[in-house]
Amino acid sequence: MKEIKFVDVGEGITEGHVRKWLVKDGETVKEDQPVVQVETDKAVVNVPAPVSGLIKQNVPENSNVHVGDTIAYIGEASELQSAATKPAAPQQQVPETQNMSVKAREVMATPAVRKLARDLGVDVSKINGTGPEGRIIENDIRSVAHGEVLQSRPIPKFSEVLEEQHEGEVERIPLSQVRKAIAKNMEAAWTIPHAAHMDLIDATDLFDVVQKEKQKVQEEFGVNLTFTPFIIKAVLEVLKENPRFNASYDHEKLEIIQKKYYHIGLAVGSPSGLKVVVLKDVDKKSIIDIAKESHDLSDKARNETITLDEMRDSTFTISNIGSLKAGFFSVPVINYPEVAILGIHMIRDMPVVKDGKIVIRKILPYSLVFDHRVVDGAEAVKFGNSLAKYLEDPDFLEMLG
């Protein structure tokens, strides 16, 4: 008899959610046949059978499992009768407590407060903050540095008060594994001092090139050509000219980690939440390669078949808000721990002044959101000007097309 265990599928994942059994309990399965879908905080993983035989499910759908838990058994009918079924992991809401874990307390302090603690020789991991919801504030650090004992205030449980006031009109909805990951990443990202630069690009020539090449590319390569591959290629050139944007920041060592490879992330909506698919080594790929790969990866994200390897190690991310056919400007959140994210918006006809005359052109709004610890506003403007230079250059676009 063989056990199917939930193993660490990468990225330090410790918990999964049994989303769907792909085979019935007691069914005969073949080696390497997918038998169950497990949702992690990164992706939906199809777990295969390690051997052929009858399967005995050990946990029901919609239950949580941890690394090392036995999901099922595979073997002969006589062997499976002796297999003890483990109770389903209960889905519990973690209660709010006054005594936060060391990790949580470290998160509940701003970078400025943590720097003050380092300067004064105070260990923030040993402090129960007196700020809202246990947050460590500047006065806490100074008080501990002077030998004072902090008196933590009770954390107001506003959610419980709300439920009492609106009994029967409030519902608690547990976060999915992907939604938990998004929440965790957003909290990490919000420790970054965000700043934004926004501008408009005349995308008339870009629009014309795509329209001109679209049918040819579809017929020759079976690929739907969009603006995205051209924007990615332009961003690649801009990153080469402005390498600080192809980096991450190590706040512990106060160092910039400069990347000399170009893995471009694309933000894609999926049924379970926003995911970032990653096109690796775009400097080594053609426009057709990028068009095909971005289409395939986006489809995988929407169909929940994307793998962890296809969503990791990005160096710069693009969020194509324009694909939603709405909005003029937005401020996307940086994909932690990167230095910047580019928001691309819908190309639209707009009146502009060209050679002293008002004409209608195809205008592309963009938002560049950046980590102000690593780059300044002037560098962001330089990035934007370089992006416009490439996307407005007919020769560059024709060369790519």
- 355-376, pLDDT tens digit by residue? 999 999 999 999 999 999 999 9
pLDDT in tens, 225-259: 999 999 999 999 999 999 999 999 998 888 999 99
DSSP state letters, 200-253: EEE-HHHHHHHHHHHHHHHHHH-----SHHHHHHHHHHHHHH-GGGSEEEETTT
pLDDT in tens, 208-228: 999 999 999 999 999 999 999
Residues recognised as catalytic: 372
DSSP letter for 309, please. G
- Indicate if the pLDDT at residue 93 is higher than 50: no
Q: Look up tokens 């209960």; give the residue.
A: 90
Residue 200 belongs to some domain of the structure: yes
**What local confidence, expressed as pLDDT, does residue 291 receive?**
94
Same domain, 128 and 239: no
Distance CA 323, CA 318 (A): 12
Same domain, 187 and 168: no
Same domain, 202 and 243: yes
Distance CA 139, CA 131 (A): 9
**What local confidence, expressed as pLDDT, does residue 370 receive?**
96
Residue 53 belongs to some domain of the structure: yes
Average pLDDT in the chain: 84
Residue 334 belongs to some domain of the structure: yes
**What local confidence, expressed as pLDDT, does residue 225 receive?**
92
Same domain, 133 and 237: no
Same domain, 229 and 321: yes
Distance CA 178, CA 274 (A): 8
The type of residue at 320 is N
Number of Cβ within a 10 Å radius of residue 174 = 11
Residue 92 pLDDT grade (very low, low, confident, very high; cuts 50, 70, 90)? very low
- Indicate if the pLDDT at residue 159 is higher than 70: no
- Indicate if the pLDDT at residue 40 is higher than 90: no
Are 303 and 242 in contact by the 8 Å Cβ rule? The answer is no
- Indicate if the pLDDT at residue 98 is higher than 50: no
Same domain, 164 and 194: no
The strand order across the sheet containing 70-75 reads 2-5, 70-75, 53-57, 28-29
Q: Look up tokens 């809401």; give the residue.
A: 93
Same domain, 148 and 208: no
For the ranges 46-50, 97-101, 195-199, 297-301, which has the lowest average pLDDT?
Answer: 97-101
The residues, any chain, with a CB within 8 Å of residue 95's CB and separated by 6 or more, are none
Same domain, 227 and 361: yes
CATH code, domain with 351? 3.30.559.10
**What local confidence, expressed as pLDDT, does residue 263 receive?**
97
Residue 49 pLDDT grade (very low, low, confident, very high; cuts 50, 70, 90)? confident
Residue 149 pLDDT grade (very low, low, confident, very high; cuts 50, 70, 90)? low
Instruction: Output phi, psi for 348, to 5 deg.
Output: -140, 155
Same domain, 283 and 263: yes
Same domain, 208 and 345: yes
**What local confidence, expressed as pLDDT, does residue 265 receive?**
96
Residue 382 belongs to some domain of the structure: yes
CATH code, domain with 129? 4.10.320.10
Q: What angle do CA 13, 4, 79 make, to 5 degrees?
A: 160
Instruction: Give the total number of structural domains in the chain.
Output: 3
**What local confidence, expressed as pLDDT, does residue 95 receive?**
39
- Indicate if the pLDDT at residue 132 is higher than 70: no
Residue 61, domain extent: 2-80
Pairing of strands 194-202, 53-57: unpaired
Same domain, 65 and 115: no
Domain boundary among 173, 200, 226: 173
- Indicate if the pLDDT at residue 81 is higher than 90: no
Same domain, 142 and 191: no
Distance CA 203, CA 227 (A): 10
Domain boundary among 154, 173, 192: 173
**What local confidence, expressed as pLDDT, does residue 11 receive?**
56
